[in-house]
Chain A
Amino acid sequence: AQKITQTQPGMFVQEKEAVTLDCTYDTSDQSYGLFWYKQPSSGEMIFLIYQGSYDEQNATEGRYSLNFQKARKSANLVISASQLGDSAMYFCAMREGWATRQAGTALIFGKGTTLSVSS
């Protein structure tokens, strides 16, 4: 079974609009971390935002916010006021054991969502 599911292969949005990229996850761990990364066509992976499983508040980072619904096991990324430069592939990822600060645990990635922003 997939641990990270991103059901939207592609999303289209106009400049200045908000967009939500979906992510659901599956884990039996109580401690975990959820991450979103952006990958433009250059290939680099850019860290955007994270949410710890014990964090009560939804994470926010500038125009990015993470809509964390623990009971539903979802961690959707919301991008407000989209810009042309937001066009990229977006990956949701999980690291089990994050909350215990285990740096030695690899990330599990979803299949990604390609976001296209038009003017």
Chain B
Amino acid sequence: GAVVSQHPSWVICKSGTSVKIECRSLDFQATTMFWYRQFPKQSLMLMATSNEGSKATYEQGVEKDKFLINHASLTLSTLTVTSAHPEDSSFYICSASPPGQPQYFGPGTRLTVL
């Protein structure tokens, strides 16, 4: 299947700092990528749809000023958690799909905000 990478795999930061998470499609071009958030033992919650060359579409209840998404190229989308607080600690995972294929997920990023 297609390969999606994510970096970093885990990050610990202090409250008030910003953290950038990268999502890359390694063997295909992705005009659309998706960002999900997952709390322990829960399902994945869609945060936003990242569109190459245009603004991201955020799900209801997701603060777009806090979770900045930039889809600068056909293989890279970034999620920046601005002014992170402990309640932002979670598992963030991105996905993308080649046309006509299932969505493939990155390995995820565990964010811990102290």
Interface size class of A (residues with CB under 8 A): 20 to 34
**Distance of A89 Cα from B1 Cα, bound (Å):** 20
A50: interface (CB < 8 Å): yes
Residues from chain A with Cβ under 8 Å of B46 in the complex: 106-108
Give the shortest distance, in Å, between B79 (CB) and chain A (any CB): 15
Residues from chain B with Cβ under 8 Å of A37 in the complex: 105
Contact of A43 among B32, B43, B95, B110 (CB under 8 A): B110
Which residues of chain B (27-59) have a CB below 8 Å from chain A? 30-32, 34, 38, 41-44, 46, 49, 51
Residues from chain B with Cβ under 8 Å of A114 in the complex: 41
Which residues of chain B (63-114) have a CB below 8 Å from chain A? 91, 93, 95-105, 107-108, 110
Residues from chain B with Cβ under 8 Å of A101 in the complex: 99-100
- B residues apposed to A, CB below 8 Å: 1, 30-32, 34, 38, 41-44, 46, 49, 51, 91, 93, 95-105, 107-108, 110
